[in-house]
Amino acid sequence: MESSTSTELGQFAEDVLQGLSSRPKTLSSKYFYDDEGSRLFREIMELPEYYLTRAELKIFTEQTEAICSAFTDNAGAIDLIELGAGDGTKTAVLIDHLLTAGIDFTYSPIDISQEANDSLSEVFQSRFPGLRIKPRTGDYFKILSSLEHNRDRRKVLMFLGSNIGNFTSDRAVEFFRRLRGVMDANDRLFLGFDMQKDPRVIVAAYDDAQGVTAEFNLNLLRRINRELGGDFDLAKFSHYAQYRPAECAARSFLNSREKQTVHITALNRSFEFEQWEAIFMEISQKYTRHMIEELASDSGFAIGREFYDEENFYIDSLWLPSPPFAR
């Protein structure tokens, strides 16, 4: 079936068709986070090699008051909106402080996984009985565009966990410009950036000894089998991670262990793999301060505050929309 005739297959199928038809073959990391993928990622965050969560959590726990003050400065009330909240461990630190301080705020986690949202809501409603939580499931921009613009309430958009590292430079600029398009002058954007560091530390974070990251990547093949009728044999693919310091970029691949053919029923297509041919799965961009400054400027933002850990492994950066404003 040609891609032009597959309009009824849905975006997932379209993207799989395009990715596996390209050279080199690719699959989009945005499809990692089905329910099982979300569960595996929560497991990854607990791994000793995966320093990112610990570094950002340390920033949140040691600089809680300063972060919350930056959120609420000159704002009567705020709507805390988190894109891809995960298990909410870090966000809970901020929520606890905001509730204790008596700040007028709501919390809206946005995630493509209904299970992730349901799990987070259950935990937060139990832990914080007074929290006004409004979870939303679906595409970030469709949901953000539907939100009411209320100049009396500041939107604080949070994109944590260095999730922006999964974007190429051009896609990151496009993503932030779209976010800026749904923000008012008084709104804020709070971002987590994983910084350049010892390459060996970075590689270990994406190729853990227990193989959880490998399973996380392979789960996307499992999802294709389940949702699109694929016949990927997961035992015939292996996970490989690399880091290129000159580019500040970690990359993940799935390599075909042998020459093979994979058929996907929903696409009515078969795909040939040579032995050790790679599927590019994910980029995990690391940053320098100069790169962050350049990204903010190119996207229509100014950096308001920065919060970093003592090892300079990680930075949480608060951005302000630069004029002219969208609304």
Do 123 and 163 fall within a single domain? yes
What are 253-302's pLDDT values in tens digits? Answer: 999 999 999 999 999 999 999 999 999 999 999 999 999 999 999 999 99
Do 152 and 271 fall within a single domain? no
Contacts of 64 (CB under 8 A, 6+ apart): 93, 94, 97
Q: Is residue 276 part of a domain?
A: yes
Cis peptide, bond prior to residue 323, ω within 30 of zero: no
What are 99-155's pLDDT values in tens digits? Answer: 999 999 999 998 877 878 888 899 999 999 999 999 988 877 788 777 766 667 999
Do 159 and 86 fall within a single domain? yes
Do 222 and 143 fall within a single domain? no
Q: Name the residue with higher pLDDT: 34 or 244.
A: 244
Nearest by Cα to 211 from 241, 167, 180: 241
User: Is 178 in contact with 141 (CB distance < 8 Å)?
Assistant: yes
In this prediction, residue 103 carries a pLDDT of 95
Do 85 and 181 fall within a single domain? yes
User: Is 236 in contact with 220 (CB distance < 8 Å)?
Assistant: no
How far apart are alpha carbons 80 and 109 in whole angstroms? 8
Do 85 and 208 fall within a single domain? no
In this prediction, residue 9 carries a pLDDT of 60
In this prediction, residue 4 carries a pLDDT of 37
How far apart are alpha carbons 203 and 41 in whole angstroms? 17
Q: Is residue 130 part of a domain?
A: yes
What are 151-185's pLDDT values in tens digits? Answer: 679 999 999 988 899 888 898 999 999 899 888 89
Total domain count for the chain?
2
Residue 87 pLDDT class (50, 70, 90 cuts): confident
Q: Is residue 53 part of a domain?
A: no
Res 327 pLDDT > 60: no
pTM: 0.85
Res 246 pLDDT > 50: yes
Q: Is residue 56 part of a domain?
A: no
Q: Is residue 94 part of a domain?
A: yes
Do 91 and 177 fall within a single domain? yes
Average pLDDT, integer, range 66-85: 92
State the residue range of the domain holding 34.
3-47+200-285
